[in-house]
Structure 1
Amino acid sequence: MGIFSKTAEYAMRAVFYIAQRSHEGQRTGIKEIADAVNSPEAFLAKILQKLSKVGLIQSVKGPNGGFYIDTSGFSRPLADIVIAVEGDTIFKGCGMGLSYCSEEYPCPLHGEFKKVRNQITLMLRNTTIGQFNAELIKGQLTLNK
């Protein structure tokens, strides 16, 4: 069980994979990415379209085309990926999914969940796309087993 939606999970996995391949000077096709991150191809295509639209990844059409990340993309925070595909709910939403939950009307988990949510927010805002690239390239980290 993860803390992110399937959409956000696939988006992060795909971006990490594309970053790894981009570092090697490669552009990567949708089928290769889907296989590498264990994602349904059609679902991933919609995710990549959103990421491309906001400039997190780039794409080139044609026989030598595919997805890639330019050098400035490596310094973007992971929060940008989550926001692109899910919005910012994870940064301020209720742990129980209640729309009325707030400081004034807290749910039973409000205080403790707020601490966890703030830690997740810090991690996503302070961790960059390129931060794990060297370890991915060396095979010290994995996106699929």
Structure 2
Amino acid sequence: IPPPPVRGIGTGGGFKMQIQDKSGAGMIALQDATNAVINQARQEPGLVQVFTNYTIGTPQYFADIDRTKVRMLDVPIGNVFDALQIYLGSSYVNDFNFLGRTYRVTAQADYRYRDEREDIARLRTRSSTGAIV
């Protein structure tokens, strides 16, 4: 097994890079600059599987949390954010061992419960009293 090209990263690792829009040129210009960097990096023989997760075509929504209503329902605000993260994204739970292997446990709602914008309004969490709201 050959040693890793960059000490400390390993043979299967890599590195991350962030591109910032410090001039305020906007999302389209940032996408174009990101694609230019990616395309140039792909020309380098020492770099493989160069990609970006940034795309302006991905839907993004702003969730305006009614904090007054949250307090009125006696729900800790952290529960609201946890519900959003777990249902719409994912959350690491723990690891467990089975038959000599370690498995990672991640909580996430099934895609059919988080596929549409309207699904956000159907999310539920617990209040401080334990009631589902």
The TM-score, its normalising length taken from structure 2, stands at: 0.27
**Larger helix fraction of residues:** 1
> Whose relative contact order is higher, 1 or 2, with alpha carbons under 8 Å and at least 6 apart?
1
Looking at CA atoms only, which structure, 1 or 2, has the larger radius of gyration? 2
**Larger strand fraction of residues:** 2
The TM-score, its normalising length taken from structure 1, stands at: 0.26
